[in-house]
Structures are given as structure tokens and as C-alpha cells.
């Protein structure tokens, strides 16, 4: 599968100089979407996974499909204030300022094995915050899976420094 051929690139979005990688075109292509989910699941066949955690928002789509294929639960990581019950949170640095992500306090349990899924890894800040959230409750992140890696932004290296296995299906140069 040539993933680059089914991912739309939108120049100068959301700001000048950014090449936005739009995976909604991949999601709309049944064969590409199925192949994506299969390739994200395959490395974990035979591995004990208790939950799949998806990062807001496109990560929800992927993580839900991966959780379905693995026959395990799905957990959303959301921006602060979006979850309706008691949460735990993790704040992380952005280029200018900070942001916070949350999960429900009972979303994952101590000792569970978790697979983290999102559409794209750039700097790795949000993914690292999600990992720290999961580990706060004593769960184990056994892998981090993405469709797209932007290697120039060094997110993969950031997660690998945390000792995490990182899988991506395609790389794009630039931001």
C-alpha cells in the first residue's frame, strides 16, 4: 500500500509553512483504511493488550478500529475539560505555552498493557503526555503506533528515549 497516495497534503494549514497531512482521505478509502488498521494490529498479534488508547481526535478513529480488531477496550485521551467524569491530567509544553490532556481516572488499571495510537507523530509532546498519564495509574505502554511520522521533528526519538516501541506506516519530510 502506498500510503502517501491516499493521504492529502494541504499546504499552509493551519498556518503558513505547515504541510498538513490529512488522513481523512485515507479513512474514506475502504481498502486503505483496512490495510492501515491491519498493519497497526499485526505487530501485536499474540501480545497481551488490555486497552487501546487513542489521542484526540483522529486517533480516536484509528484506536477504536484497532481495539475492535484486538477485541479489547478503547480509552480516549482528551483535551482538558472534555471528559464528563473524574479525570487525571498531564500538562506538557508546546512551542508557545502549555496544554493538558486527560483520561478518566478509572480508564486503565494498574498492570494493564496498553497500546497508544494516533494518526501522526510530530514532536511527540502529546504522545509523551499520554504515556505519562497511562503510567501514572501503573499501566504499561507496550507500544505507540502512528500512520505518519514526521522524522525532522524527532517525536519518534523522544518516545524511544522513554523506552517505547514506536511504529509508523509512512514518513513525510517537513513539518
Ordered by where they begin, the domains of the chain are 40-171 (3.40.50.2020)
- Evaluate whether 88 touches 136 at the Cβ level (below 8 Å): yes
Classify residue 160 as exposed, middle or buried by CB count within 10 Å of its CB (0-12, 13-18, 19+).
middle
Phi, psi of 155 (to 5 degrees): -65, -40
One DSSP character per residue, 70-95 reads HT-EEEEEEETT--SS-EEEEEEEET
The yes-or-no answer on residue 58 being catalytic is yes
Choose the catalytic residue: 31, 86, 95, 173.
Answer: 95
Containing 146, the helix (H) or strand (E) segment is strand 140-149
DSSP 47: S
Q: Is the pLDDT of residue 11 over 90?
A: yes
* Alpha carbon separation from 68 to 41, 60, 151, 160 (Å, rounded): 10, 12, 29, 26
CA atoms within a 13 Å half-sphere pointing along the CA-CB vector of 169:
28
Say how far apart CA 134 and CA 140 lie, in whole Å: 7
Closest by CA position to 145, among listed 63, 75, 51, 64: 63
Choose the catalytic residue: 8, 31, 48, 58.
Answer: 58
Average pLDDT over residues 120-145: 97
Q: What is the pLDDT of residue 94?
A: 79
Q: What is the pLDDT of residue 97?
A: 82
Taking the CA atoms of 87, 113, 90 and 99 in sequence, report the sign of the dihedral they define.
Answer: negative
* Count of residues making up the chain: 175
Phi, psi of 39 (to 5 degrees): -70, -25
Q: What is the pLDDT of residue 96?
A: 75
Average pLDDT over residues 120-139: 96
Q: Is the pLDDT of residue 39 over 90?
A: yes
Amino acid at each position: 500500500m502506498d500510503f502517501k497516495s491516499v493521504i492529502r497534503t494541504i499546504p499552509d494549514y493551519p498556518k503558513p509553512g505547515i504541510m498538513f497531512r490529512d488522513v481523512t482521505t485515507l479513512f474514506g478509502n475502504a481498502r486503505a483504511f483496512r490495510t492501515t488498521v491491519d498493519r497497526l494490529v499485526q505487530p501485536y498479534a499474540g501480545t497481551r493488550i488490555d486497552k487501546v488508547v487513542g489521542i484526540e481526535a483522529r486517533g480516536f478513529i484509528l484506536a477504536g478500529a484497532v481495539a475492535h480488531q484486538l477485541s479489547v477496550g478503547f480509552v480516549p485521551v482528551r483535551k482538558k475539560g472534555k471528559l464528563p467524569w473524574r479525570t487525571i491530567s498531564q500538562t506538557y509544553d508546546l512551542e508557545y505555552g502549555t496544554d493538558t490532556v486527560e483520561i478518566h481516572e478509572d480508564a486503565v488499571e494498574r498492570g494493564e498493557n496498553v497500546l497508544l495510537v494516533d494518526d501522526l507523530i510530530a514532536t511527540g509532546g502529546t504522545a509523551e503526555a499520554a504515556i505519562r498519564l497511562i503510567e501514572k495509574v501503573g499501566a504499561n505502554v507496550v507500544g505507540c503506533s502512528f500512520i505518519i511520522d514526521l522524522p525532522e521533528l524527532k517525536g519518534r526519538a523522544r518516545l524511544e528515549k522513554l523506552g517505547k516501541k514506536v511504529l509508523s506506516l509512512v514518513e513525510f519530510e517537513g513539518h
